[in-house]
Amino acid sequence: MSKQLWISALLAMLLAACASKPIEEPKAPVAEASSSQPAEPMMDNSADTSGAGDADMSGKAMLDPRKDPNNILYTRSVFFDYNKDEVKAEYRPLVEAHAKYLVEHPEAKLILQGNTDDRGSREFNLALGQRRSVAVKNVMNVLGASDRQIETVSYGEEKQRCAEQTESCWAQNRRADIVYEGE
């Protein structure tokens, strides 16, 4: 019995029980950044376009694909090689899936948060994080997602997911996170 299935079932129950409330994800893909309220006015939208809203309208617990652990849209991080900003082939399907979601949901908006590991200069890392977020945006643009739906920011090395000085830890920090409006 997979843990993911169990979580998925629990999520469905939670959705049914309190569909109008934001859902606490048991395994948040963006630990620190997800608690952030985005900065730009375009993201400061009080209208709820999240999955919880869909459930309300349909009157039953239709799971938002972005919150379904079995859906590729649940995955929100694109990882990069050291000092690089190329979106690697293995992350193309993920980025393409989110681009497709944006095309199919013109009202949906997301923010791409570029991050780096914590070695070297904070300012250079801030610049590198920006490159990473824009690199992901460029792939989404090619697939038809509108600039109006995508904002890019960089946190440089300021939002570490893993704090140890090991390659596996650094690899987790070299990433762009996909955060939808309202999350």
Partner 1 sequence: MLRILLLLSLLLPVGANAALDIEIIGGAAQQIPIAVLPFNHPLKRDDLSQVISADLYRSGLFRLIETGGVATLPRELAEVKYPEWTALQAQGLVIGKVEPSAGGRLKVSFRLLDVLKQNQMAAFEYDITPGQLRQTAHKIADVIYQKFTGEPGVFATRISYVLKNGPRYTLVVADADGYGPQPVLSSTEPIISPTWAPDGTKLAYVSFEKKKPIIYVQSLTSGQRTVLANYKGNNSAPAWSPDSQRLAIVLTQGANSQISIINADGTGLQKLSRSQTIDTEPQWSSDGKWIYFSSDRGGSPQIYRMSPLGGEPQRVTFEGGYNVSPRLSPDGKQLAFIRRDGGKFQIATQDLANHQVQVLSDSTNDESPSFAPNGRLIIYATKVNGKGVLSVVSSDGKVRQRLSESGDVREPAWGPAVN
Q: Which is nearer to partner 1, 50 or 154 (CB)?
A: 154
Residue 163: count of CB within 10 angstroms of its CB: 8
C-beta of residue 140 within 8 angstroms of C-beta of residue 113: no
Q: Which two tokens stand for residue 92?
A: 């193309």
Q: Is position 166 an interface residue for partner 1 (rule: CB under 8 A)?
A: no
Count the site residues for partner 1 by CB under 8 A: 32
- Rounded to whole angstroms, what are the CA distances from 38 to 93, 114, 163? 26, 14, 24
**Residue 171 binds partner 1, judged by CB under 8 A:** no
The yes or no reply on residue 160 touching partner 1 (CB under 8 A) is no
Handedness of CA 165, 158, 31, 86 (dihedral sign): negative
Site membership for partner 1, residue 39 (CB under 8 A): yes
What mask, x for binding partner 1 by CB under 8 A, covers residues 114 to 153?
Answer: ----xxxxxxx-xxx-xx--xx--x-------------xx
Distance of CA 166 to the CA centre of its chain: 24
Side chain identity at 112, as an amino acid letter?
Answer: L
48-107 binders of partner 1 (CB under 8 A)? 83, 85
Per the document, the length of the chain is 183
List of residues contacting partner 1 (CB under 8 A): 36-40, 83, 85, 118-124, 126-128, 130-131, 134-135, 138, 152-156, 158-159, 163-165
